[in-house]
C-alpha cells in the first residue's frame, strides 16, 4: 500500500489547505454512463455486478477515466447489508429494490443474521482490495454504508416507499423493537465499515438518505444517535493516516450542529441548505461536502459553469470544502456536463486559491443573494 499521488480530498476533509477544491460526484459510476450500462449487461444484473469484484472495480474506475475526479467510491450498494442479514434482496427493472423477507416483528429481528464482513460480505471486501490495487495511488478510495435508520426503512418497508408508514408504525407503536433493530444494524455497520478500512478504504461516508423524513426529536432518537455510535466506533486511522468520516443526512439541514457534535470529520450538505449558512453554523468543527442541485446537470453547459461558481462562492475562501452534488447524479444527466462541472471546479477554485495566496481577495464567505 504505497503513497497517494492526489490526496486533495483527504486533506480537504481534515480542513487542511489545498491548492484547489477537490471534487467527486455521488453515484459517479452509474446509468448515465454508457460504459456502465455495458458492464452491467455483461454482469447480468445489478447485484451480480456488485458481487463480482473485477466488474465492481471496472465500473468504479470508469468515471475516473473520463473525468478529472479527486476520489473514487467503492461500487456497491447500501442494501448489501440487509441482504447479508438474510432479507434476500432483489432488484427488479423499474421497481427498484425489493426484499423477499422484510422485517416486520420482533421475531423477524431476532432471526436476523449478524454477518462477518469477510464472509457474507467478503465480495465487498474483495472489491475494495481489487480497486485499491487498480487505483495504484491515483486518488483515495471512499468506503460507505447506509445509516442504520435508512437501512431500517428498506428492511421494514420491504423496498422503497413514499410514506414510510410501516417503519413509522414501528417507532411509534413498538419503539423497543425499532431500537433493537437499529442497534443491531449499527453494530453490523461498524463491523462492515471497519472491514472496508482494513481492506483499504481511505475515507468513509454514511448515507442517511431518509433521516429527513423524521421530526427533530425522532431524528435525534432514531437516526443521529446510531450514527453517533458509528462515528465513535469506526477505525479513524490506517496506513499511518487519518481515515475521515463524512455524515450525510438528506434534508437534514436543520440538524447540522447536532451532526457536527457526533465527532465526524465532515458533513454532506444537500442543495436545500446554503454552504455559507452551513459554514456559519458549524464553524471550523467539520469540513463540508456538496452541494449543487443534481438537476442543474440537465441544463446547459453555461448554466453548469455558473452554478459551480455560485457553489464555490457560497462556501467562500479557506480550507474545508469538497465539491459534490447535493445528492446522486440523475441517470439522464449528460456526461458532457459532468466534464464541464469537474473542469469548472478546477478552473474557478485554482484561480481563487491563487488570488487568496497573493492577498487579492478578502477571505471569508460571500453573502448569498438569497437566504
Ligand atoms: O456513488 C457511487 O458511484 C457508488 C455506488 C452507489 C450505488 N448506490 C450504486 C447503485 C452508492 C453509494 C449507493 C448508495 C445507495 N443505494 C443509497 C444511498 C445514497 C442515495 O442515493 O441516497 C440508497 C438509498 C441506495 C438504495 C438503492 N440502490 C436504490 C433505491 C436503488 C434503485 C434506484 C433506481 O434508480 O433503480 C439502487 C440501485 C443502484 N445503486 C444503482 C446504482 C448505480 C442503479 C442500479 C442499476 O444499475 O440498475
- The catalytic residue among 15, 20, 27, 305 is 27
pLDDT digits (tens, 9 = 90+) for 18-52: 999 999 999 999 999 999 999 999 999 999 999 99
**Does ligand 1 come within 6 angstroms of the Cβ of 148?**
no
- Measured in Å, residue 173 CA sits from the centre of ligand 1 at 30
Instruction: Check residue 363 and give its pLDDT.
Output: 47
Domain ranges of the chain: 29-66+71-268
As a three-state string, the secondary structure of 227-245 is HHHHHHHCCCEECCEECCE
- The reply to whether 192 belongs to the active site is no
Put the strands of the sheet holding 72-73 in their side by side order: 72-73, 141-146, 203-208, 245-249, 266-269, 287-292, 321-325
CATH classification number, 29-66+71-268, choose in 3.40.50.300, 3.40.50.10480, 3.40.50.9100, 3.20.20.210:
3.20.20.210
Residue 273 confidence class, pLDDT cut points 50, 70, 90: very high
pTM of this prediction exceeds 0.85: yes
**For range 88-93, the mean pLDDT:** 90
Instruction: Check residue 370 and give its pLDDT.
Output: 35
* Residue 41 buriedness (CB in 10 A; 0-12 / 13-18 / 19+): exposed
**Does ligand 1 come within 6 angstroms of the Cβ of 78?**
yes
Kindly report the protein residue whose alpha carbon is nearest to atom 33 of ligand 1. 96
Before 118, cis peptide (omega within 30)? no
For the CA atoms of 255, 257, 259, 264, what is the dihedral angle to 10 degrees? 160
pLDDT digits (tens, 9 = 90+) for 94-145: 889 999 999 999 999 999 999 999 999 999 999 999 999 999 999 999 999 9
pLDDT digits (tens, 9 = 90+) for 168-226: 999 999 999 999 999 999 999 999 999 999 999 999 999 999 999 999 999 999 999 99
Identify the weakest region by mean pLDDT among 60-74, 80-94, 194-208, 302-316: 80-94
- The reply to whether 27 belongs to the active site is yes
Instruction: Check residue 94 and give its pLDDT.
Output: 80
- Measured in Å, residue 274 CA sits from the centre of ligand 1 at 25
- Measured in Å, residue 294 CA sits from the centre of ligand 1 at 15
Instruction: Check residue 331 and give its pLDDT.
Output: 97
Residue 353 confidence class, pLDDT cut points 50, 70, 90: confident
Residue to probe by mutation, ligand 1, list 24, 25, 27, most atoms within 8 Å of CB: 27
- Measured in Å, residue 77 CA sits from the centre of ligand 1 at 6
Amino acid at each position: 500500500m504505497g503513497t497517494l499521488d492526489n490526496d486533495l480530498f483527504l486533506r480537504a476533509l481534515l480542513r487542511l489547505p489545498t491548492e484547489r477544491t477537490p471534487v467527486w460526484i455521488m453515484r459517479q459510476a452509474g446509468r448515465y454512463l454508457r460504459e456502465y450500462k455495458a458492464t452491467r449487461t455483461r454482469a447480468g444484473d445489478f447485484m451480480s455486478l456488485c458481487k463480482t469484484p473485477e466488474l465492481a472495480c471496472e465500473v468504479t474506475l470508469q468515471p475516473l477515466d473520463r473525468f478529472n475526479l479527486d476520489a473514487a467510491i467503492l461500487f456497491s450498494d447500501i442494501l448489501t447489508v440487509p441482504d447479508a442479514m438474510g432479507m434476500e434482496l432483489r432488484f427488479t427493472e423499474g421497481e427498484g429494490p425489493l426484499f423477499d423477507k422484510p422485517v416486520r416483528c420482533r421475531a423477524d429481528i431476532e432471526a436476523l443474521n449478524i454477518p462477518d464482513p469477510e464472509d457474507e460480505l467478503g465480495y465487498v471486501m474483495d472489491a475494495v482490495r481489487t480497486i485499491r490495487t487498480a487505483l495504484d495511488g491515483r486518488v483515495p478510495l471512499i468506503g460507505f454504508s447506509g445509516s442504520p435508520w435508512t437501512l431500517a426503512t428498506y428492511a421494514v418497508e420491504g423496498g422503497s416507499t413514499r410514506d414510510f408508514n410501516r417503519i413509522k408504525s414501528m417507532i411509534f407503536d413498538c419503539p423497543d423493537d425499532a431500537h433493537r433493530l437499529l442497534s443491531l444494524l449499527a453494530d453490523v455497520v461498524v463491523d462492515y465499515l471497519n472491514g472496508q478500512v482494513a481492506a483499504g478504504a481511505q475515507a468513509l461516508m454514511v448515507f442517511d438518505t431518509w433521516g429527513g423524513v423524521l421530526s427533530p426529536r425522532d431524528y435525534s432518537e432514531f437516526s443521529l444517535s446510531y450514527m453517533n455510535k458509528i462515528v465513535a466506533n469506526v477505525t479513524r486511522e490506517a496506513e499511518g493516516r487519518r481515515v475521515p468520516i463524512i455524515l450525510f443526512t438528506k434534508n437534514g439541514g436543520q440538524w447540522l450542529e447536532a451532526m457536527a457534535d457526533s465527532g465526524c470529520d465532515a458533513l454532506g450538505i444537500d442543495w436545500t441548505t446554503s454552504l455559507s449558512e452551513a459554514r456559519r453554523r458549524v464553524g471550523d468543527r467539520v469540513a463540508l461536502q456538496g452541494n449543487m442541485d443534481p438537476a442543474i446537470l440537465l441544463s446547459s453547459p453555461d448554466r453548469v459553469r455558473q452554478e459551480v461558481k455560485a457553489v464555490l462562492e457560497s462556501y467562500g475562501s479557506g480550507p474545508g470544502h469538497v465539491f459534490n452534488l447535493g445528492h446522486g447524479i440523475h441517470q439522464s444527466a449528460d456526461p458532457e456536463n459532468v466534464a464541464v462541472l469537474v473542469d469548472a471546479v478546477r478552473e474557478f477554485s485554482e484561480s481563487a486559491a491563487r488570488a487568496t495566496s497573493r492577498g487579492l481577495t478578502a477571505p471569508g464567505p460571500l453573502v448569498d443573494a438569497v437566504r
